[in-house]
Structure 1
């Protein structure tokens, strides 16, 4: 089978991680299908059944990207004679004759929690995604032959907002790396809190900062909150800014801390699952995705992400020992070979 993967938009962060994760699966488990990756850089190496076509100008120029998607990209893809085209980005290329499958991991156009403003400089990029690019993404969902998503909530949201049948949308959770074993040196500390997240606006670090202000006004000054962003002078000056951390260090902090998760827009929310696997206490925004991922987990507590007092109350209870860590007996299922399920879906 001949599969074309369109991922020209990928250049950093999570998008490259997804690309490399798929590529690693192909190296280890698929020497039958022939793969053609349309990329903006040599992020993967070619093999006997993996080929890379570079489109650097399309990545650098928005006009060239639009031209590729709407004018000449279809011919390029059709000339490869694919059986299926797999999109790791959230829009389709017009004029493609083969079946088209999307891997949808962009939740901003489908959430109902927050309306971003064009008039706020910090919110403007997200408003563009919500209202402008969101229209293109929804159109792509309606015109694709199949959509692969990670959670039930995003499947339901896409079906509703795009007026398409749920049967067209396949739920395949991402593969979760098994967490390492840690010794007693990582015992839980009720004064420690941790939030591994990027600095995106909707990650909502401001909620944590305001909750800390409230606790300090109440005389609670000995808590430690660590985040994985660079220093931000707009936030409480007692926050520890660790910057980017490797995965093992993130796991060490999660093991001994309470996870704070005030983000209100996520497709999946990986730290919630990882913290659950470590059986730590989780304080999560009261959202559809957090309830789905934490269903049945006794160490999960929810708060309104737009009311810092609701977070500070829970943090105070943990600090005072009114909320303690419960022993968990029901282990969360680990998603193994998720890419196998994706490839199987492409082959059908």
Structure 2
């Protein structure tokens, strides 16, 4: 079988979206009897190997107008020349007009979220407003024209959201964390000595309210349990329009998945996000048996269902987050990995792709 995997939006150290691409790449390496070609928009993401060829087109990442033209028109000619047996789009949109069956992986929640409205007029909201108000309708239009294949999503709420815009069959396949990145690094049972929030710098990730809640804690408490964020101080200031010089808050900047695992195995995962499809750090924390304090929103509750060391808070109020943070250091640290039921992973995904 010859597969073409398209994911031009991913950049280096871009969180969960890069984890998805890496997991599919690892699947490809583990199946040498099949051929895989990847089309990406950045250098240094993936490497060629015996059964893997990597194509790079930076225009598709740097120019969104060109990306739209590619998805709706130009991409079909490119794909048909390669003549794969199956096409997999990991970037939320289909390549329209293909002769080949295609699986579209939809995992961006912004186009389908209605409880939060972002404004193009507000500087701090402009980036997400662009995705919600301009990119979102393009996503939906693209899916409405898509016919020759199926769609895969990660959670039940995304099934309900996406089916309003497509007549295609929608698969619910919950990803299973690849354990490759945990090899030789997984250390269970460590005491919690910090709060850790791995995420990108998007306003709906809710860093500002988390910081406000954290800074309301006593100085002695904060000294014992610092807060670690995987954004830079400059990204925080640009995203939220305020500065932060708290010495107990560490702005790590973008870090790789290996470093995420290293920090997470001795921390409490804090997850105050307002909008999610899945939340890869939740799955990684469960593999490591870490305590979690998380947003009380449907997709997060769906992912952590059955996990024994989790506490929920209202992500819209700093007081609720503060109370959860206070209790967190005394929460149970598990001595074994936890794998949620129903996580079929990439094996099931590729079986569905092959059956198209």
Shorter-normalised TM-score: what interval? Answer: 0.7 to 0.9
Shift of 1:173: 1.3
Distance 2:264 2:49 in 1: 38
Q: In the superposition, relative to structure 1, how do residues 116 and 51 fare at CA in structure 2: closer, same or farther (>3 Å)?
A: same
Residue number in structure 1 paired with 2:240: none
Work out whether residues 39 and 54 of structure 1, in 8 Å CA contact, stay in contact via their aligned partners in 2.
yes
Q: Deviations over 1:181-207 (max 9, x none)?
A: 4377x3234xx3222222221111111
Work out whether residues 172 and 342 of structure 1, in 8 Å CA contact, stay in contact via their aligned partners in 2.
no
Work out which of the two has the higher radius of gyration on C-alpha atoms and give 1 or 2: 1
Q: Secondary structure at the match of 1:129?
A: helix
Shift of 1:52: 4.2
Q: Secondary structure at the match of 1:240?
A: strand
Residue number in structure 2 paired with 1:9: 9
Q: Which aligned runs of 4 or more in structure 1 are off by greater than 6 angstroms?
A: 334-337
Distance 1:10 1:101 in 2: 18
TM-score, with normalisation over the residues of structure 2?
0.81
How many pairs are equivalent? 338
Q: Secondary structure at the match of 1:256?
A: coil
Distance 2:275 2:323 in 1: 22
User: Match for 1:338 among 345, 349, 353?
Assistant: 345
TM-score, with normalisation over the residues of structure 1?
0.83
Distance 2:258 2:2 in 1: 37
Residue 151 of structure 1 pairs with residue 155 of structure 2: yes
Q: Secondary structure at the match of 1:23?
A: helix
User: Match for 1:289 among 299, 318, 337?
Assistant: 299
Residue number in structure 1 paired with 2:199: 197
Work out whether residues 175 and 337 of structure 1, in 8 Å CA contact, stay in contact via their aligned partners in 2.
no
Work out whether residues 292 and 328 of structure 2, in 8 Å CA contact, stay in contact via their aligned partners in 1.
no
Work out whether residues 124 and 203 of structure 2, in 8 Å CA contact, stay in contact via their aligned partners in 1.
yes
Distance 1:210 1:18 in 2: 31
Q: Deviations over 1:94-140 (max 9, x none)?
A: 32222221011211112344221111112111111112211122233
Matches for 1:25-174 after TM superposition, within 5 Å: 25-32=27-34, 34-41=35-42, 43-47=45-49, 49-142=51-144, 143-144=146-147, 145-159=149-163, 161-162=164-165, 164=167, 167-174=169-176
Unaligned runs of 5+ in 2: 238-242
Q: In the superposition, relative to structure 1, how do residues 334 and 28 fare at CA in structure 2: closer, same or farther (>3 Å)?
A: farther
Residue number in structure 2 paired with 1:305: 315
Unaligned runs of 5+ in 1: none
Residue 325 of structure 1 pairs with residue 332 of structure 2: yes
Residue 315 of structure 1 pairs with residue 325 of structure 2: yes
Distance 1:141 1:153 in 2: 17
Q: Deviations over 1:128-183 (max 9, x none)?
A: 11122111222333325211222233223222x42647x53242414342754437
Q: Secondary structure at the match of 2:39?
A: strand
